[in-house]
Amino acid sequence: MAEQEAAWDRGDIPGFMEGYADSVCFTSKRGMTCGKADVTANYLRSYPDPEAMGDLTFGIQEVVMAGDAHAWVTGTWELVRTQDTLGGGFSLLWQREDEGWRIIRDHTY
């Protein structure tokens, strides 16, 4: 997640998305979006430039292993921008894949 934070802070949404599996489903108050390409498109639409992206910080509250290949991670996020500060929580289901750990389910609120 530190790599995702760094990618976000440099305005690199494709780099941020490297933490996600191709089969990811993202759930927020706007609904559910499945598939890495569609989730990426939503991020690009919502955060069109580095100013809109701001400075992202994650706070990990809990990591619960679910076997050798899955982990449930809960925590907080804060996005500081010049015009405002946003924040909330998340729960992520990670899966170990050939290329490393990837998020397969993201519930951000």
Please give the residue range of the domain that contains residue 81. Answer: 2-108
Q: What is the pLDDT of residues 13-40, one digit of tens each?
A: 999 999 999 999 999 999 999 999 999 9
Q: What is the pLDDT of residues 73-99, one digit of tens each?
A: 999 999 999 999 999 999 999 999 999
Q: How many domains are there within the chain?
A: 1
For residues 82, 31, 21, 75, the Cα torsion angle rounded to the nearest 10 degrees is: 60
| This prediction's pTM | 0.94
